Every structure is written in structure tokens, then in C-alpha cells.
């Protein structure tokens, strides 16, 4: 069974958290073996006064590379990295933490836990105040 439908469901939760102002951060982690790419961090950034993009920071052993994408395009950027090399995506919101996880047999699951963060990211709060979301 492919993990892609469940990852798409997980991404819907990411989108909801951004739009309802509860998004704190998103991280892709837990690589398969020793890879050059160590983590990917995703956070919103303001683009002018009325729009936002998602900053995708790829952290390698020796450097970081940042790119900017629309919220919808960010899914297409991240999806290929699941299972190659990442096994886990962690969404932190003010309501709950969600973990998308692939086990050794590459069976996907989504685990819900109590929230780690009490406040949304500063940019999310600012976007909410400006009526962008």
C-alpha cells in the first residue's frame, strides 16, 4: 500500500492549521541511514502586506538551502522526500502535534499528541492580525 494518500491527509491538516492560525512549525526528520540531507524545516513568511509563502529550509551536513513556495506547491516539494530519505514529518500546532510516520515496512500512520507549543509562530500570528488567513 502506498503511503501517499495518508501523507495527503496529513498535508490537509497542515493546510488547516495555517488557515486557522494554529500553525507553529513543520519538520521532516528521521532519515534512512547517514544522508547529506539532515532535516527540512517549513515555516510561513510574509510576502508584502497581504500574502505569504512557505519557507522550505533544507539542512544539509555543511549548508542550508532556503526556497519559497505557495502553500499548495510546498506539498509537491516535500512529498518526494518522504521515504527518501525521511520517515517522519512532525506538525506542531497550538491545538495538537501530528506525526506522520513510516515504519520499517513503509506502512504509514498519523499519531496525534498533546501540543508542544502554546503559541502559533510569530508570522502566523501576524498573518492572522492582518487578515491574510
| Each residue's pLDDT tens digit, 52-86 | 999 999 999 999 999 999 999 999 999 999 999 99
15 grid coordinates: 493546510
The residue segments making up the domain with residue 109 are 4-129
Q: How far apart are CA 109 and CA 19, in angstroms?
A: 24
Q: Are 91 and 13 in contact (CB under 8 A)?
A: yes
Q: Select from 42, 36, 39 the least CA-distant residue to 15.
A: 42
- CB neighbours (10 Å) of residue 118? 7
| Each residue's pLDDT tens digit, 1-26 | 466 889 999 999 999 999 999 999 99
Number of domains in the chain: 1
Share of the chain above pLDDT 90, in %: 83
Amino acid at each position: 500500500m502506498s503511503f501517499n494518500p495518508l501523507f495527503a491527509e496529513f498535508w490537509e491538516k497542515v493546510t488547516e492549521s495555517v488557515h486557522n492560525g494554529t500553525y507553529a512549525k513543520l519538520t521532516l526528520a528521521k532519515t534512512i541511514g547517514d544522508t547529506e540531507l539532515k532535516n527540512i524545516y517549513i515555516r510561513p513568511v510574509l510576502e508584502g502586506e497581504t500574502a505569504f509563502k512557505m519557507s522550505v529550509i533544507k539542512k544539509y551536513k555543511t549548508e542550508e538551502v532556503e526556497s519559497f513556495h505557495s502553500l499548495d506547491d510546498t506539498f509537491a516539494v516535500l512529498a518526494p522526500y518522504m521515504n527518501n530519505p525521511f520517515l517522519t514529518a512532525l506538525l506542531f500546532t497550538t491545538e495538537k502535534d501530528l506525526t506522520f510516520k513510516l515504519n520499517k515496512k513503509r506502512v504509514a500512520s498519523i499519531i496525534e499528541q498533546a501540543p508542544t507549543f502554546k503559541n502559533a509562530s510569530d508570522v502566523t500570528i501576524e498573518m492572522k492580525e492582518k487578515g491574510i488567513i
